[in-house]
Chain A
Amino acid sequence: MPAGFTGQGVDPLTCAETIRILSTEFRITSNIPELIERLAYLTQRAEQDLPVLEHCEISVQREDGEYRISGGEGKKDDCELSLPMAFEAMFARLHDLGMRHFPDHIRIHAASGFGRDGMVLLVGEKWSGKTTTAVHLLLEGFEIVGDELVLLRHGQAVTFPRPFYLRHSAIDLLPKLGGMTDRAPFVHAETAGKLIAIDPLKLGRHWKIRPAPVGTVVFLEPNHGGTSSLRACSKVEMVRRVLAQSSPPSSGREDWVADFCSTINEADTVIARMGDLASATDLFRRLLS
């Protein structure tokens, strides 16, 4: 019987699962056991130190050869022809609904964690090694809480909770993962190939999502084959680099650039040339501990 299968009080052919994303708690019901099983890919059980503002029912039903995804105030039903497409549509719906309570937040594409002065953002262009670095630091004992998205408003940042999605090709760089990746859920992404969902809790790490001021912003530059090094980065240059990895608030609030600049101005700003991970550990330990 799949995880999440409920035998009491509901249709015996219906599975259910509960997922918390920031201030929204979702209850997902489906007559497709495989879908509930695949939720392991996006389900996270991070502690989230934010108030629950909304309970939302999402339904995914197989009807007459198609998949109907419904639920969420103001959202029209989606109909998909395959399970993977239904899964993606449901994922997008959860993401949209989870973000609804954060319309004024700037979205920064960054890995994130906590250091001595508050939140640490690890920003970089695509393929710069954000997730690999994040998982490495997690394995080395740093408190890393996300690998993808950070929401920022008035200097306070909060990590969007989701598992870390590590490229299969990066596993060899992270021997401390051991055999856990053999058992971890995974998907195949069009451009990135096989992605392994890494859950910090399953690595025995503390995983607590909470708002905090931004203390340090690190911009990652790849230096494949070399050693890792850090150098200071001017505030204006860091604004330029990080803005390129950010999106304005969906509300369109007018002071978002000022908010962004003020946050960068108050944070330590560093460029990390990422070579071998072993030499990076000591650098990050000095920077963040």
Chain B
Amino acid sequence: MPELTDASPVRVEGLEINIMHDGVVIYQHDRKKIHYLNHTAGLVLELCDGRHKVEELAAIVGKTYGLPQPPHDDVANCLQDLRARELIR
């Protein structure tokens, strides 16, 4: 399902986010599960605080990486992946 641009995704509780030099390691305490993300997916996850709408996330990611256009499709795919992993709702 495509991400609704006016939705504000929220990280699930109980995530331990470990920032590495070249990516992010997430430990989901309740499921005792570990996830490996690149920095961009880690940034998107961090921004999923319920206060940013999807299109705002794309704008922030685009600005952070100096992109000419907000990467709407990439962020939507990333959110889908994070949701599939049950890291956001």
B-binding residues in A (CB < 8 A) = 234-236, 239-240, 243, 254-255, 257-258, 261-262, 264-265
Which residues of A are found within 8 Å of B21, using beta-carbon distances? 235, 265
Smallest Cβ-Cβ distance to A240: which chain B residue: B36
Which residues of A are found within 8 Å of B36, using beta-carbon distances? 236, 239-240
A65–chain B nearest beta-carbon distance, Å: 45
- Contact status A254-B29, CB under 8 Å: yes
- Contact status A235-B20, CB under 8 Å: yes
Given known A254-B29, A257-B27, A261-B25, contact A239–B20 (CB-CB < 8 A)? yes
Which residues of A are found within 8 Å of B24, using beta-carbon distances? 236
10 tightest A-B CB contacts, nearest first: A236-B23, A261-B18, A257-B27, A235-B20, A234-B22, A261-B25, A235-B21, A265-B20, A236-B20, A236-B36
Which residues of A are found within 8 Å of B4, using beta-carbon distances? none
Given known A236-B36, A239-B36, A240-B36, contact A258–B16 (CB-CB < 8 A)? yes
- Bitwise interface map of B from 4 to 18 toward A, beta carbon under 8 Å scored 1, else 0: 000000000000101
Our count of residue pairs bridging A and B at CB distance below 8 angstroms stands at 34
A99–chain B nearest beta-carbon distance, Å: 21
Smallest Cβ-Cβ distance to B24: which chain A residue: A236
Which residues of B are found within 8 Å of A257, using beta-carbon distances? 16, 18, 25, 27, 34
- Contact status A239-B25, CB under 8 Å: yes
A255–chain B nearest beta-carbon distance, Å: 8
Q: Restricting to B68-87, which residues have a CB under 8 Å from any CB of A?
A: none
A-binding residues in B (CB < 8 A) = 16, 18, 20-25, 27, 29, 34, 36
Smallest Cβ-Cβ distance to A243: which chain B residue: B34
- Contact status A258-B27, CB under 8 Å: yes
Smallest Cβ-Cβ distance to B21: which chain A residue: A235
- Contact status B23-A234, CB under 8 Å: yes
Q: What are 26 residue pairs bridging A and B, where the CB atoms are less than 8 Å apart in the complex?
A: A234-B22, A235-B20, A235-B22, A235-B23, A236-B20, A236-B22, A236-B24, A236-B25, A236-B36, A239-B20, A239-B25, A240-B36, A254-B29, A255-B16, A257-B16, A257-B18, A257-B25, A257-B34, A258-B16, A258-B18, A258-B27, A261-B18, A261-B25, A262-B18, A265-B20, A265-B21
Which residues of B are found within 8 Å of A243, using beta-carbon distances? 34
Which residues of B are found within 8 Å of A236, using beta-carbon distances? 20, 22-25, 36
Which residues of B are found within 8 Å of A240, using beta-carbon distances? 36
Which residues of A are found within 8 Å of B34, using beta-carbon distances? 243, 257
Which residues of A are found within 8 Å of B23, using beta-carbon distances? 234-236
Q: How far is the CA of A236 from the CA of B40 in the complex (A)?
A: 14
Q: How far is the CA of A255 from the CA of B20 in the complex (A)?
A: 16
Q: How far is the CA of A236 from the CA of B25 in the complex (A)?
A: 7
Q: How far is the CA of A265 from the CA of B25 in the complex (A)?
A: 11
Smallest Cβ-Cβ distance to A238: which chain B residue: B20
Q: How far is the CA of A234 from the CA of B36 in the complex (A)?
A: 12
B35–chain A nearest beta-carbon distance, Å: 10
Q: How far is the CA of A165 from the CA of B27 in the complex (A)?
A: 34
B28–chain A nearest beta-carbon distance, Å: 10
Most A C-beta atoms less than 10 A away, residue of B16, B25, B29, B34: B25
Q: How far is the CA of A234 from the CA of B25 in the complex (A)?
A: 12
Which residues of A are found within 8 Å of B20, using beta-carbon distances? 235-236, 239, 261, 264-265
Q: How far is the CA of A261 from the CA of B24 in the complex (A)?
A: 9
B40–chain A nearest beta-carbon distance, Å: 13
Most B C-beta atoms less than 10 A away, residue of A234, A235, A243, A261: A261
